[in-house]
Structures are given as C-alpha cells and as structure tokens.
C-alpha cells in the first residue's frame, strides 16, 4: 500500500483536493455547490493520480539515476500491474466525465477534461522530454484544476477574478518548479535521451530564465497587492509569497545552485498560495 501511495503521489493529490475544497468553501456560497461539482472533484483526482502513475511508468530510466531510492515501477510493483491500474483509474475518471456531461450537457467542460486526460499521457510519453513545451503543459494542466471552476459554476465578477488570479499564479509557480526539477534531474534526463531546457541550452541560461520567472512572479504578487484592500491579506502575501520567492531568487545567484532546496521552497510557496482564499 505504501508503494502505491508514493506512486500516485498522495501528497500532491491532497494538495489539489485541499485547494479545490477551500475554493468551494471560501469563494463560492453553498447554494452554488451541485452534484456536478463533486463529480468534478472526483475525476480531477482520478486523472491526476493516473497521470502520476503513467509518469513513473515511463520515467524508470531517469528515476533510476536521479532518484534510485524512490524507484517503484519494476522494483516494488510489477510494470504490467502499474499500467493496468493506470488504465482502470483513467477509465473510471472518463466514465465520471461522461456522467457529468450527461447531467449538464457542458460540451466545453467535457472536451477540456478529455483533452487533459490525453495530455497527461502525452506529457509522460513525449512532451516531458521537450524543452519548455513539457514544462508549460504540466503547469497549464495544474492551473486548469482551478480555472475549470469557471465552467461548472455561475461566477460573479469577483469570483471570476479570484479564479483567474489563482489560476495565473498556479501556472507561474508550477512552471518555475518544473524548470527547477529539470535542473535537478539533468543527469538522468541526459541518459534517457530527453531534450529538456537545461540539456538544450545549458544550466546557466536555464537559470537565467528561471530567475526571470521567479522575479516576475514576485512582482506580479506585489502588483496584485496594490489592488487588495484587506491589510491582513497584503501582509500575508508579502511574508509568505513574495519573501520566499525573493529568497529562492537569492539561492539561484549562489555559485553552487541549490536546486533541490529551491524546488522544495517553491512547493511550500504553492501551499501558502492556496491559503490566500481564506482571506477572500
């Protein structure tokens, strides 16, 4: 069971679930919560879990070099069992997506969710090894787990703005973290024949791009802060989002790049970002 929990990356799933629950609790009134939303929460988690499984399935070579102690597929779980489990979870998720479409006839939501399912496979199989394309894909898919609330709930202008802002920062922070992970995993990615950004343009140039992303995100937070009237939220953003981002920028300037530390820092910032909805 422990191996399966690691394979589906239960901590990431929990983070997504908490994000969506907090959005429903603090951005939307209870009167707008419908059964379709619970279906959405369920198949979002199922597709994410399936995506994590297939990612590890295709990542055995890179993980055996970058993180040999964390390799599960082929060591602790049979590859065929892993792939069959991926198919089963994806099938259940697709059935729930179909059921949601049958109830609400929302063709746009159904199409986007189906595309997400396909892209999660395509990312693990092909796009992950493509410079920047893979990074942008996974960051976009993560942001969509928030953005899609605009398609399943009638939104006021305030609610739409909240979702757009959360989606934007989810994209920026996850894009930065995906690039950091490529910097961390460069050795294994080279062995697997991948063409990630650090492999194509080098560590130094990739670091410059990452610095630009991080400082741009910090400045965007500062800009958003200038429009916020809630003083508690202003202080929270400065202390728990802007300051850690600037610290991450500082770590990138050090001669010995601390990519693992920066990756964990960005993950923490993403978690802090989720709790901004408490102040909405």
| Domain enclosing residue 255, as ranges | 2-279
In Å, how far from its chain's centre is CA 107? 24
In the chain, the number of structural domains is 1
| Secondary structure of residue 230 in the 3-state scheme | coil
CB neighbour class for 70 (10 Å; exposed up to 12, middle 13-18, buried from 19):
exposed
Q: What is the pLDDT of residues 151-206, one digit of tens each?
A: 999 889 999 999 999 999 999 999 999 999 999 989 888 888 889 999 999 999 99
Residue matched to tokens 């953005």: 147
pLDDT confidence band for 256 (50 / 70 / 90): low
| Phi–psi pair at 77, nearest 5 degrees | -135, 135
CATH number of the CATH domain containing 160: 1.10.600
- Separation of alpha carbons 73 and 83, rounded Å: 10
Q: What is the pLDDT of residues 201-240, one digit of tens each?
A: 999 999 999 999 999 999 999 999 999 999 999 999 999 9
Give the percent of the chain with pLDDT over 90.
77
Question: What does the pLDDT read at residue 255?
Answer: 59
Say if CB 200 and CB 186 are below 8 A apart. Answer: no
Mean pLDDT for the chain? 92
Question: What does the pLDDT read at residue 117?
Answer: 95
Q: Say if pTM beats, i.e. exceeds, 0.85.
A: yes
Lowest average pLDDT, out of 12-21, 85-94, 160-169, 247-256, goes to: 247-256
């Amino acid at each position: 069971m422990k191996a399966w929990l690691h394979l589906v990356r239960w901590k990431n799933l929990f983070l997504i679930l908490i994000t969506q629950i907090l959005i429903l609790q603090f951005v939307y009134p209870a009167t707008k919560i419908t059964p379709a939303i619970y279906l959405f929460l369920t198949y979002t988690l199922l597709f994410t879990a399936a995506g994590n499984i297939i990612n590890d399935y295709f990542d055995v070579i890179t993980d055996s070099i970058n993180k040999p102690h964390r390799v599960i597929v082929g060591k602790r779980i049979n590859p065929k069992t892993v792939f069959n489990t991926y198919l089963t979870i994806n099938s259940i998720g697709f059935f729930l997506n179909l059921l949601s479409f049958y109830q609400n006839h929302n063709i746009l939501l159904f199409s986007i969710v189906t595309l997400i399912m396909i892209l999660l496979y395509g990312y693990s199989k092909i796009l992950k090894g493509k410079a920047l394309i893979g990074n942008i894909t996974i960051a976009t898919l993560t942001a969509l787990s928030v953005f899609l609330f605009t398609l399943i709930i009638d939104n006021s202008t305030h609610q739409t703005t909240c979702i757009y802002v959360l989606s934007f920062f989810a994209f920026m922070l996850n894009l930065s973290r995906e690039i950091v992970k490529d910097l961390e995993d460069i050795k294994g990615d080279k062995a697997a024949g991948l063409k990630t950004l650090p492999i194509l343009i080098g560590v130094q140039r990739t670091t410059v791009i990452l610095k630009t992303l991080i400082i741009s995100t910090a400045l965007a937070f500062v800009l958003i802060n200038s429009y916020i009237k809630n003083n508690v939220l202003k202080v929270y953003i400065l202390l728990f989002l802007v300051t850690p981002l600037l610290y991450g920028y500082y770590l990138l300037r050090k001669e010995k790049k601390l990519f693992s530390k920066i990756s964990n820092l960005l993950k923490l910032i993403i978690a802090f970002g989720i709790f901004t909805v408490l102040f909405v």
